[in-house]
Chains A and B, each alone.
Chain A
Amino acid sequence: MQKNNVLTRLMRNQIFIPVAALILLAIFNLIMDPSFFKITLGYNSVGNPVLSGYLITILDYGSELAILAIGMTLVTAASGGQDISVGATIAISGSVVLRVLCGTNSRPETLQAPIIVAFLISCVAAMLFGAFNGVLVAYFKIQPMVATLILFTAGRSIAAWINNNELPIISDPVFGYFGGFIPGIPIPTPFFIAVACMIVIALVLRFTNLGLYTQAVGINENSSKLNGLNPAFIKFLTFVILGLCVAVAALIKVSRISSINYSVIAKDIEMDAILAVALGGNALSGGKFNMAASILGAYVIQFLTTTLYKFNVQSDALPAYKAVVVIILVVMSTPVVRSWLSEAGKKIKGRTSQKAKEVA
């Protein structure tokens, strides 16, 4: 009886959804090809120890997504909508980093500015673009998807314009550490950056009222206002925070190739970030959220992508396969299906316990 209670409580917990999805995917891979889980320690071209394997890839690329999911969760909670300009603003923010590092010459021998300065400037830029989206949504009350459609469309051109449509290349190996490996540490750096972001957001949620305020505004704007909150400002704030997340993700992205491809960088990443939020069991219509579930959701999405690559799905066909899996996952996570499942679970349990009684 007690065991049942634990199980049903677990089922009701929001984080159950991404965990279940993760377990399903793991089991699938285990059956199809256990080598999926193999991790090998090797040396890269510079002679540093690096871990490699599918799980490491998931940890590596899932981290970018996890960082974006943090901001997307807050935007979703407060505004009841999503920012679809994330990929485009990553291009802008990445372009800013490269522009500051390169100065006027697109192929500099030495960096023209410290990396930290370039990063901070790109943070400001990304937060400004976030603020632009935020103003449209919070103060002009435009639907988030429509408001962010503007930068979704224009963002990549702006990114190209920042670097005069040239392709800057950074030769300094240090710049490559952020999206690769720090010498001597075999775990990909993006994972550490993501962990840092998680710690920061955990502290913010613990030591400020960001969580309570965004949820209150997302659930009932009228009441929030009458309780002294400023709903517009809180929505605006979440877009600025997402901007900051974008800047961090952009640094990783451009560091990976020490360059940028304006039309391809972080393409469709906004969809994965939104899916991470949905997979975390958070209502896309806003309100209550569970940050840990979103972050886990991000890694699950990457797990799925990597699994598909592993089975040699053509990259053109990838979205279609992903869509099928995503439909299943998202439908499974809706309250309707979950209540069916828990009821079915109860019935099965009822039968087994009856049988147990009969046996006794």
Chain B
Amino acid sequence: MKDGSVLEMRGICKSFPGVRALQDVDFTLKQGEIHALMGENGAGKSTLIKVLTGVYEKDEGHIYLKGLEQEAAIRSPQDAQKLGISTVYQEITLCPNLSVAENMFIGRETKHLQDWKKMNEAADRILQNLDIPAKAKQQLADCSIAVQQMVAIARAVDMDCKVLILDEPTSSLDEQEVEKLFGLMRDLKKRGVGIIFVTHFLDQVYEVCDKITVLRDGKLVGEYEIKELPRLQLVSKMLGKELDDLSGIKDESMTYHEEDNMVPVFEAEKLQSNAGIKPFDFYIKKGEVNGFTGLLGSGRSECVRAIFGADRVIGGTVKKNGKQIKINKPLDAMKNGIAYLPEDRKRDGIIGDLSVRDNIILALQVLKGFFKPFTKAEANKFAEEYIKLLDIKTASADTPIKSLSGGNQQKVILARWLLTHPEYLILDEPTRGIDVGTKIDIQKLVLKLASEGMSVTFISSETDEMLRTCSRLIVMRDRKVVGELSGSDLNQSQIMSTIAGGDK
């Protein structure tokens, strides 16, 4: 082991049936360092993390930890924890109905009797130390997601951890919450904890990390100082090719020109749902790409859910091609040629245990009817067609969708809706939590579909993406539509000032 490093992984190999997930990967983490682990989905980031935390057993290679003479033997998550390796995952893995203190100490009691008072005091001390705005006796569910995330970190840190792994901790946080989390990370860094930070957000990597290790196709691409690796190079290293795609997209989006006399494909007036949004007006024309923007929780998703009938509609009228229609449930919307890719892929999108094929045909099958199932041959034809069209990486059409990577799952859901040949496609955060390559694929696809006459509403937390794809943006604040931007107004600063409100 070199001086100053807390963790060294050498020549790690791991195979699954049919896939070599990791091939001879090295990884070094120094004391008091925030180290980004970057790569596309399927590059091997999560496999490497899982090997380190004992979820998977490595096939070959060595892991050394500071303070250990020999190789570290990590066979289970418990082993990893005992050796001072802690993980905080994207989804909160604590118990929301227990108190903050209970969450911090659960599963760690050495005695059978618990001194509640002492435990609460200890918890408060740690929270105060780390400057986390929570009280020991508070129920965890009452804290914001960011604070819950921090409690998870506090728990990890208190277990005397040397290596802290943060696996996409920021994907459900808004900007201020991310800032707070970064504050905590910097604080821990000063205390000498080595932090491995896995994320898809490039901005965040450059804001907080010291070093970057890039993986691609299960192999190590290299380890870089943050200063020596500009953004564009990082992206091209992750993708394994030089990248001008990003700039290429922009020109295409300029081709859409709104014709004023066109009847909107879809139009809503004073639409309101039971999800707590203020009534809003909305329209979209043929071949147009528009989007809802606003901070997290501003009601973007609730608007499109109301359009699709996913939440209960309690007021307003909707028209399709000028004719009034009724949408009370998703099926009504589907029959009217509307498709909706939901925000939360895991919860609302995939049917985990079903095959890729069944997941692709589901929506069209429902439209076709209960008594008219597709034959196996038909279903296979559809599945193969879209697997090829969207370049979905799956072993076969029979593979359960849950074993695919996030980006490929998203493509399957996209395939499901494209198969219904919708006139109007709603994409709610289609690019969240997926790799850069797939993100660009999806953005390109949106523009291609629009040029072929499909209307698309595109929602994304990344304003860049929206600017690249949308020709009109509807801005939301506090569950209310507060503005609409198009043409020359479509730029970062204009969006920011509209979101922030106040005088122009």
Contacts and interface: CB of A to CB of B under 8 A. Distances in A.
A-B complex is real: yes
Interface of A: 206-210, 212-213, 215-216, 219-220, 222-230, 287-288
A215 B353 contact: yes
B373 A228 contact: no
Contacts of A229: 331, 366
Given A212-B373, A215-B351, 6 more contacts: A220-B351, A223-B350, A226-B348, A226-B349, A227-B416, A230-B331
B22 to A, nearest CB: 20
A227 B370 contact: no
Interface of B: 308, 310, 329-331, 334, 340, 342, 347-354, 358, 362-363, 365-367, 369-371, 373, 416
A269 to B, nearest CB: 29
B342 A219 contact: no
A263 B183 CA distance: 69
Contacts of B347: 220, 222-223
A207 B353 contact: no
SS class, residues of chain A in contact with chain B: helix
A225 B348 CA distance: 8
Given A209-B365, A212-B362, A215-B354, A223 B349 contact: yes
A207 B355 CA distance: 19
Contacts of A228: 329-331, 334, 363, 366-367
Contact of B353 (A206, A209, A219, A225): A219
Nearest to A287: B353
Nearest to B334: A228
Contacts of B366: 209, 227-229
A219 B362 CA distance: 13
A212 B348 contact: no
Contacts of B416: 227
Given A227-B362, A229-B366, A288 B349 contact: no
Contact of A219 (B310, B352, B373): B352
Contacts of A209: 365-366, 369-371, 373
Contact of B342 (A207, A210, A226, A288): A226
A208 B371 contact: yes
Contact of A216 (B329, B330, B349, B362): B362
B330 A219 contact: no
Given A207-B373, A226-B340, A227-B362, A219 B354 contact: yes
Interface centre among A219, A225, A226, A230 (most CB of B within 10 A): A226
Contacts of A206: 373
Given A212-B362, A215-B353, A222 B348 contact: yes
Contacts of A213: 370
A230 B331 CA distance: 9
Given A207-B373, A208-B373, A225 B330 contact: yes
11 contacts: A209-B365, A210-B370, A212-B373, A219-B351, A223-B348, A223-B349, A226-B308, A226-B348, A228-B334, A229-B366, A230-B329
B373 A227 contact: no
Contacts of A224: 351
Interface centre among B340, B342, B347, B366 (most CB of A within 10 A): B366
A219 B366 CA distance: 16
Going nearest first, the 10 A-B pairs with the smallest beta carbon separation are: A228-B331, A228-B366, A222-B348, A228-B334, A219-B351, A220-B351, A227-B363, A288-B353, A209-B373, A219-B353
A210 B370 CA distance: 7
A288 B366 CA distance: 18
A230 to B, nearest CB: 8
Given A225-B330, A226-B342, A216 B351 contact: yes
Contacts of B330: 225-228
A210 B365 CA distance: 12
A308 B453 CA distance: 70
A20 B492 CA distance: 65
Contacts of A222: 347-348
A208 B370 contact: yes
B399 to A, nearest CB: 13
Contacts of B308: 226
A213 B369 CA distance: 11
Given A212-B373, A226-B330, A228-B330, A220 B367 contact: no
Contacts of B354: 212, 215-216, 219, 288
